[in-house]
Amino acid sequence: QVGPMRSEVPGHSPEQTQCSLHPFRISFHQLGLENWIIAPNLYSPNYCKGSCPRVLRSGLCSPNHAIIQNLINELVDRNIPRPSCIPYKYTPISVLLVEASGSILYKEYEDMIAQSCTCR
Amino acid sequence: TNSQDAAAPAHVALQLPLLRALLQEVPPKTPQWQPARGRPLQYMLELYRQSADPQGHPRENRTFRVDAVRLVRPAGHRALPPRGPWYVQTLDFPLQPNREGYQLVRAAVAYRPHLRLSHSHLSCHVEPWAHKSSLLLGGGSPGFALPEAWAEMDITNYIQQQFWPQERRRTLRIQVKCEQQERTNLGLGWRQALASDSAFLVLYFNNTFDSMPQVRLQELLTGDPAGADPLLLARQVR
């Protein structure tokens, strides 16, 4: 039997702090790599941030284990942490770059951009 | 977001997975390094435009699906004496040793079939420098939609038979044959026209890491089949 609901974080609504995807962009110029990265100009890896709610809604794509771990934290042992907010799906990025030999390389790198988040 | 114009600290940059992957791919800047420009750059930018959007997301409807495409510029060229209307130049392309985990799926020589000079123009084609009996052209998967001024000769079968898989540095020699359309004296202008990036080699690769046995991957990435940290190994593969 689950105990009474309590507020997630005092002073903040769950919508503001709940695990979600946040945009983040950085330019290759900022990283000092503009000389050999031809395209794209910007890299948008994004990131996941926020607390994982006590009741894991289906949109978070959390596995059964995350739900159990949440219950253990709530009912059995507070030393067991609640699930973490982490990326769930990624997309690749295509990069055009100059190699040291002078060759030009087009390459696709898998799992480089976070597309959605999950609690697990 | 308040520090968009400031350079990111180095330790932050190295934590970005894309950068770690890129730094494994490309050695640091060397004295021979030159920025990309000219026709090869325009060619690869068109390939990129067809393959990905400006943010770098691969397009769903791209005509070819490979993991990497490398444009190789000729390391040397030599003009042969003109014979009648024919102007011939040989180009040497350095072929790097075959990288583990990469499978060649297409090789082509991209060239400009029509070269304009000030008072004339040339119609050109390319051929591998080989006996006719050993020439087996074609065999590659579809490439991208070429810009209008360019043509390609598919030499996938030829490369795979003669050069691949290779374990040491070798050179592919091709010849660019151009026929003058008008009977005017070209002087030495044709040499300049042919020398300026008239043809280059385009290699298409697929990454076969996913199908490589785990033990082989471990050896490849760590040099030590027994001592690798499985978690680190997985990160490096990605």
pLDDT in tens, B9-19: 556 666 666 77
> Taking 60 as the threshold, does the pLDDT of residue A26 lie above it?
yes
Q: Is the pLDDT of residue A22 over 90?
A: yes
Summarize the confidence of residues A58-77 as an average pLDDT.
Answer: 90
State the pLDDT at residue B25.
62
Better-predicted residue by pLDDT, B168 or B67: B67
Tokens of A99: 């190699």
Question: Closest by alpha carbon to A103, among B63, B68, B86?
Answer: B68
Asked whether B77 and A118 are in contact (CB, 8 A), the reply is no
Chain B residue at shortest CA distance from A36? B35
Rounded Cα–Cα distance for residues B103 and B99 (Å): 8
**Segment 22-51 of chain B within 8 Å of chain A by CB:** 22, 25-30, 32-36, 40-41, 44-45, 47-48, 51
State residue A20's pLDDT score. Answer: 92
Alpha carbons within 13 A on the beta-carbon side of B93: 26
**Listed residue (A110, A58, A61) closest to A85, CA to CA:** A61
Three-class SS state of A59: helix
- Predicted local distance difference test score (pLDDT) of residue A53: 86
Q: Is B8 on the interface with A (CB under 8 A)?
A: yes
Residue with tokens 């790097």: B96
Q: How confident is the model at residue A76 (pLDDT cuts 50, 70, 90)?
A: very high
Instruction: Give the pLDDT band of residue B5 (cuts 50, 70, 90).
Output: very low
- A47: which strand partners? A22
Residues in chain A closer than 8 A to B47 (CB atoms): 106
Report pLDDT digits (tens) over B84-140: 888 899 999 988 776 667 788 999 999 999 888 777 788 999 888 766 666 677 777
Q: What is residue B132's predicted lDDT score, i.e. its pLDDT?
A: 66
pLDDT in tens, B164-200: 666 667 888 999 999 987 777 766 666 766 666 789 9
Q: Single out the residue of B115, B122, B118, B127 nearest to residue B197, CA to CA.
A: B115
Under the banding of pLDDT at 50, 70 and 90, the label for residue B227 is very low
Does B203 score more than 80 pLDDT? Answer: yes
C-alpha neighbours within 13 Å on the C-beta side of residue A2:
12
Average per-residue pLDDT for chain B:
74
The tokens describing B2, both together, are 């308040």
Indicate whether this complex's ipTM tops 0.85. Answer: no
Q: Sign of the CA dihedral B59, B64, B66, B67?
A: negative
Name the more confident of B145 and A111.
Answer: A111
